[in-house]
Amino acid sequence: MESNVMTPAAMYLWEGSVLPEWLDYNGHMTEHRYLHIFSDSSDALYAKLGVVFEKAAEGSYYTMETHLRHLAETHVGGSLWTETEILGYDEKRLHLFRRLFESGGKLLATAEHLALHVAHSKSCAASGDMLTKVASIFANQNELPVAERVGSVLRQPLRHTRLR
């Protein structure tokens, strides 16, 4: 699904299908599964940045704030995927935006996150290697249009940002 060629685009970091146990009493995917999918997308991004989960205490990202927008419903068997963008960053923080899609390109939900880099339970700067990877992704995505309503809830004064 992912290409090694860097083009200005959001990253595809998660894909899967709606399982029967993900349904609520109305017969569609329950709200906490949306967050679960976005969380799995975070883990995929952090792995790409170099977080070693077995050594997470030595340095990883921790979600400080999340804002979800539920836009459409989906049902069992729905083929889903996420797109991830880095909207901004500094030495300690990442401002992320994600979209959840269903086959055919139907937008189901969006999520905006603020993540903080921590080590040994204290905030700290990410490693130079991680920040180089973040900067590369950010630069690659810098020309992407900022989605509607992004920053309306989460707006951080980060050194590098796509929000004007």
How far is 5 from 11, CA to CA, in rounded Å? 11
Domain borders along the chain are 11-141
pLDDT of residue 1: 42
Model pTM score: 0.85
Q: Which SS3 state, helix, strand or coil, does residue 139 take? A: helix
Query: Binning pLDDT at 50, 70 and 90, where does residue 59 land?
Result: confident
How far is 127 from 157, CA to CA, in rounded Å? 21
Q: Calculate mean pLDDT across residues 39-63.
A: 90
Q: Calculate mean pLDDT across residues 66-83.
A: 95
Statement: 11-141 belongs to CATH 3.10.129.10: yes
- 8 Å CB contact between 88 and 123: no
Q: Among 96, 100, 111, 105, which Cα is nearest to 29's?
A: 100
Query: Binning pLDDT at 50, 70 and 90, where does residue 4 land?
Result: very low
Q: Average model confidence (pLDDT) for the chain?
A: 89
Q: Calculate mean pLDDT across residues 54-80.
A: 91
How far is 128 from 131, CA to CA, in rounded Å? 5
pLDDT of residue 79: 97
Q: Which of 29-33, 43-47, 54-58, 92-96 has the lowest mean pLDDT?
A: 54-58
